[in-house]
Structure 1
Amino acid sequence: MALEFILAVEGSMRVRLVILAVVVVLGGALVGSPAVAAPGTAPPSFTIFAASDLAFAFREMIPRFEQAAGVKVTLVLGSTGNLAKQIEHGAPADVFFAANQTFVDDLLAKGAVIAETRALYAQGRIVLATARTAGPRLTALTQLRDPRIRRVAIANPAHAPYGRAAEEALRSAGIWDAVKPKLVYGENIRQALQFMESGAAEAGILALSIASAPAVDWVPIDPAMHGRLDQAVAVVRRSPRPELGVAFIQFVNGPEGRAIMKRYGFLLPGEF
């Protein structure tokens, strides 16, 4: 039955072999292999916890996966740190897509995710964004000192990897102390964008993957100015259907998923 499900996902020998490998590695963890729902019954379902930088890419990708696989996906977006804490405390997530490796590895050390499913799936970038209604269009971080820029939105560095990267870039530019009083902190990188969209901030440091929003202009920030945003994923150990998480990871890292991720500015495994 598991093989029939994987055929419904992609119909490829490569994917069948991946799932067979997971069955061998996880042994009894794959209790109740997935199958296409019988007519009149609810499709198999699972929950993805994902960092907010994936909002645009996953909202495009998930409907394609649902249609191909005959499953129902619940997507929960948030900051990586907050999502990791919820998983540690028993939140009903099946698979966790983080905005860096650290939080996944911390959960792995605590036995909360399945080691054999851990994988890199992307590397993120940050950009300097200006609200199109703000007036000056910024092209360099040092311009954030401009008095016309009163508020600068970033994700909270305490629990959001993109916020931490923003802080590191500001420190690298030598303007952290000057800009810190202007900062407004989003709970996650998507909320930082929302601050700009609503007029609550004239500028911000955002993930490239969400900077295509029509309300902002942006320029890239040199990646040498901050730590790498190597993004990792793993299936949650307590998931009742780990094979669904494995199938979605394979979809993200497969041809269709990679094409979508590329459109949103991510570097992909093999490129970093």
Structure 2
Amino acid sequence: MSLWTATGCTERSAASGIENPPPIIVAAAADLQFAFTEIAELFEQRTGQPVTLVFGSSGHLAQQIENGAPFDLFASANIAFVERLRDKGLVLPETVALYAEGRIVLAVNRDVEIEIAQLQDLENPLIQRIAIANPEHAPYGLAAKEALLATGLWESVEPKLVYGENIRQTLQFIQTGDAQAGIVALSIANVPEIRWTLIDADLHTPLLQALAVVKSSSQPEAARAFAAFVNSEEGRVIMRRYGFVMPGETLE
């Protein structure tokens, strides 16, 4: 898990109505690292409300909330984790909202000279290590597994798989060459070290991403304000730029 804290110099928070408010703590799925960092910076500029972003796999973050972690808002890569917390009374049910649909891509380290343009190419014996996020707790890893199962490739490539704790670590395996190829989120794929190909969304369960305010939040109104900003047009412009599909829209 990584931690990022927004900083700012405005004196009054429109979100909380107090001077120098403490940061809200947002538990965010790792596929949101680039998009939410930008959104949090803009939110703070607009409101003066600091934001601390804690990134990890959705399953691990949900478990931390169940164990009492002091998060104010949970942004999951899979609505199922938010619904589980809602059913346990751990998030405010009226704040549960979809904010995006994610996509997965086949990513290849640029130093790999083998042609890897479709999932079937992963069976090439020269490809020895393939990275995906752990499907047990990472929604993008589960989507990767579903795509490999749907194409009949799971059994042949499973011995080559290396698992990242979250989708950001999975990308790092490919960036460093520890894995020659892998399946990662489109939202974090535009990095210099890799080339990527979009994977057909019909090969996996839709990655419906949802957020909710944590019931134990010490700053529920500020958390609600950040959630609303994510789903505002300003927030959605940023999300679209990182390849997310907005609720009710399709990927162009």
Indicate whether the TM-score tops 0.5: yes
Match of 2:6 in 1: none
Secondary structure of the equivalent of 1:212?
coil
Judge conservation of contact 1:51–1:97 (CA < 8 Å) in 2: yes
Match of 1:94 in 2: 72
Secondary structure of the equivalent of 1:268?
coil
Match of 1:74 in 2: 52
Q: Does 1:135 align with 2:117?
A: no
Q: Does 1:119 align with 2:101?
A: no
Q: Which runs of 4+ in 1 moved over 6 A?
A: none
Match of 1:183 among 147, 161, 165: 161
**C-alpha deviations, 1:111-170, integer Å up to 9, x for none?**
000000000000000000110012224111010011111100000000000000000000
Kindly tell me the number of residue pairs found equivalent between the two proteins.
239
Match of 1:35 in 2: 17
Match of 2:4 in 1: none
Judge conservation of contact 1:118–1:233 (CA < 8 Å) in 2: yes
**Alpha carbon RMSD of aligned pairs, Å?**
1.2
Q: Does 1:259 align with 2:241?
A: no
User: Aligned partner of 2:242: which letter?
Assistant: Y
CA-CA distance at 1:172 after TM superposition: 0.6
Compare CA radii of gyration and give the structure with the larger one: 1
Match of 1:48 in 2: 26
Structure 1 vs Structure 2: percent identity of aligned residues?
A: 55
Match of 1:27 in 2: none
Match of 2:3 in 1: none
Counterparts of 1:223 and 1:270, CA distance in 2: 15
Note the residue ranges of structure 1 that are not aligned, 5 or more in a row: 10-33
CA-CA distance at 1:36 after TM superposition: 4.0
User: Aligned partner of 2:75: which letter?
Assistant: F
Note the residue ranges of structure 2 that are not aligned, 5 or more in a row: 1-11
CA-CA distance at 1:267 after TM superposition: 0.5
Match of 1:229 in 2: 207
CA-CA distance at 1:72 after TM superposition: 1.2
Counterparts of 2:233 and 2:23, CA distance in 1: 23
Q: Does 1:203 align with 2:185?
A: no
TM-score (norm 1): 0.86
Judge conservation of contact 2:140–2:185 (CA < 8 Å) in 1: yes
Judge conservation of contact 1:36–1:70 (CA < 8 Å) in 2: no
CA-CA distance at 1:94 after TM superposition: 0.2
Judge conservation of contact 1:137–1:217 (CA < 8 Å) in 2: no
Judge conservation of contact 1:127–1:205 (CA < 8 Å) in 2: yes
Judge conservation of contact 2:119–2:148 (CA < 8 Å) in 1: yes
Match of 2:41 in 1: 63
CA-CA distance at 1:43 after TM superposition: 2.9
Judge conservation of contact 2:115–2:121 (CA < 8 Å) in 1: no
Counterparts of 1:226 and 1:57, CA distance in 2: 23
Secondary structure of the equivalent of 1:260?
helix
Match of 1:248 in 2: 226
Q: Does 1:106 align with 2:84?
A: yes
User: Aligned partner of 1:142: which letter?
Assistant: Q
Counterparts of 2:169 and 2:114, CA distance in 1: 22
**C-alpha deviations, 1:222-266, integer Å up to 9, x for none?**
111000100000000000111111101111111110000000000
CA-CA distance at 1:44 after TM superposition: 3.3
Of Structure 1 and Structure 2, the greater helix share is in 1
Counterparts of 1:82 and 1:104, CA distance in 2: 12
Counterparts of 1:126 and 1:239, CA distance in 2: 32
Q: Does 1:153 align with 2:135?
A: no
Match of 2:196 among 211, 218, 225: 218
User: Aligned partner of 2:132: which letter?
Assistant: I
User: Aligned partner of 1:35: which letter?
Assistant: G
